[in-house]
Amino acid sequence: EAATIVAHRVDDQMVVLMDPMEDPDDILRANRSREKTYMFDVAFDYSASQEEVYRATTKGLIEGLISGYNATVFAYGPTGCGKTYTMLGTDKEPGIYVRTLNDLFRAIEETSDDMLYSVSMSYLEIYNEMIRDLLNPSSGFLDLREDSKGVIQVAGITEVSTINAQEIMELLMKGNKQRTQEPTAANQTSSRSHAVLQVAVKQQSRCRDVLQEVRFARLFMIDLAGSERAAQTQNRGQRLKEGAHINRSLLALGNCINALSDKNGNKYVNYRDSKLTRLLKDSLGGNSRTVMIAHISPASVAFEESRNTLTYADRAKSIRTRVKKNLINVSYHIAQYTNIISDLRCEIQRLKKKIADQASRQLNSDRADIRHVQDC
User: Is 82 labelled as part of a ligand binding site?
Assistant: yes
Give, in order, the Cα–Cα distances in Å from 27 to each of 6, 20, 22, 31, 80: 22, 17, 11, 8, 36
Q: 285 a known binding residue?
A: no
Beta carbons of 155 and 144 less than 8 angstroms apart? yes
The SS3 call for residue 235 is coil
* Cα 336 from Cα 33, distance rounded (Å): 73
* 183 marked ligand binding residue: no
Return all residues near 336 (Cβ < 8 A) that are at least 6 apart: none
- Tell me the C-alpha to C-alpha distance, in Å, between residue 330 and each of 28, 118, 326: 71, 16, 13
180 is in an annotated binding site: no
**Residue 189 is assigned to a ligand binding site:** no
Contact status, residue 53 vs residue 44, Cβ threshold 8 Å: yes
Compute how many other C-beta atoms are within 10 angstroms of the C-beta atom of residue 113: 10
Q: Under 8 Å CB-to-CB from 362, ≥6 apart: which residues?
A: none
The annotation status of 175 as a binding-site residue, yes or no, is no
* Beta strand 130-133 pairing with 115-127: antiparallel
Rounded CA gap, 153 and 219, in Å? 14
CA 182 to chain centre: 23
φ, ψ (nearest 5 deg) of residue 232: -70, -35
How many other C-beta atoms lie within 10 A of the C-beta of residue 106?
Answer: 11
The secondary structure of the chain in percent helix, strand, coil, rounded to multiples of 5, reads 40, 25, 35
Q: How far apart are CA 79 and CA 17, in angstroms?
A: 19
Q: How are beta strands 7-9 and 327-331 bridged, if at all?
A: unpaired
* Phi/psi of residue 255, nearest 5 degrees: -65, -40
Q: What is the per-residue DSSP string for 130-164?
A: EEEESS-GGG-EE-EEE-TTS-EEETT---EE-S-
84 is in an annotated binding site: yes
d(CA 200, CA 217): 6
Binding-site residue ranges: 77-84
Binding-site residue ranges for ATP: 77-84
